[in-house]
Amino acid sequence: MNPVLIFRHIECEGPGYLADFLNRQKIPFNVVCIDQNDPIPEQIDNISGLVLMGGSMSVNDDLPWIEPELNLIRDAVKKNLPVLGHCLGGQLISKALGGSISKNPIKEIGWHYVEQINNDQAKTWLTSVPTHFEAFHWHGETFSVPDGATPILKSEQCENQAFCIHNTLALQCHIEMTADMVAQWVGLYSHELDETGSHIQTANEILASLQSRVNAMQAIADCVYTRWVEPIVATKNSE
């Protein structure tokens, strides 16, 4: 079967738990490492899905790889391929589909609750997911919901935490985290934890009960990713 194509924009923000999930499902994937100047494919004829990971840069930055990625997202959505974005990746999807990315009222860093929005699309995408659940966050910007898409998650300080359209899911929060990734980010991005803000947790707060928190979120991720790969699994089973 054709592999899932995953874009990594910075070394420490790779596919994480998503890679574990895809391996268990025996779904092959290739990672394009933008941080290592890997070439960006010009077409997506030989992939089964497209994933955009996070990064510390802004979608509004003048970077040479942003427009080619936006073009691939548009093409994938047009062809109804499964598309998935985490944080920066979700913002890339929004921009590709006509949305805008702007500064969130406050930074969200650490473990904060998100809430399902009561609509049919949320029920479809978030089957077996609790109405409220704790997710990991590390963002200062936020996306708008493009025309034709449906918001399905929100948080107290960020109106748009996720939206979907057809087989595409854009997330502002990070459900792909492993315990090692959380600890690594706390070390690498420690300067951001020195900023003041009601939704910026300290390193100790982020690392408290880390494995149990990650385990709970990965159970959520299993539900979300299972819905996302449904078209891929259907194609795989028909081959």
pLDDT digits (tens, 9 = 90+) for 56-102: 999 999 999 999 999 999 999 999 999 999 999 999 999 999 999 99
Positive or negative torsion for Cα 186, 187, 188, 191: positive
Is 157 within 8 Å of 105 (Cβ atoms)?
Answer: yes
pLDDT the model gives residue 65? 97
Instruction: Kindly state the tokens that stand for 145.
Output: 């919901």
Is 131 within 8 Å of 115 (Cβ atoms)?
Answer: yes
CATH number at residue 221: 3.40.50.880
In 10 A of CB 210, how many CB atoms?
Answer: 17
Total domain count for the chain?
A: 1
pLDDT the model gives residue 45? 87
Instruction: Kindly state the tokens that stand for 111.
Output: 């473990």
pTM reported for the whole predicted model: 0.97
pLDDT the model gives residue 32? 98
CA angle 173, 96, 124 (to 5 degrees): 50
Positive or negative torsion for Cα 52, 57, 60, 62: negative
Identify the residue whose tokens are 């080619």.
68
Q: Which domain range does residue 154 map to? A: 4-238
Q: How does pLDDT run along the chain (239 residues), one tens digit per residue?
A: 999 999 999 999 999 999 999 999 999 999 999 999 999 998 888 999 999 999 999 999 999 999 999 999 999 999 999 999 999 999 999 999 999 999 999 999 999 999 999 999 999 999 999 999 999 999 999 999 999 999 999 999 999 999 999 999 999 999 999 999 999 999 999 999 988 777 999 999 999 999 999 999 999 999 999 999 999 998 877 76
Q: What's the rounded Cα separation, in Å, for the pair 185 and 179?
A: 10
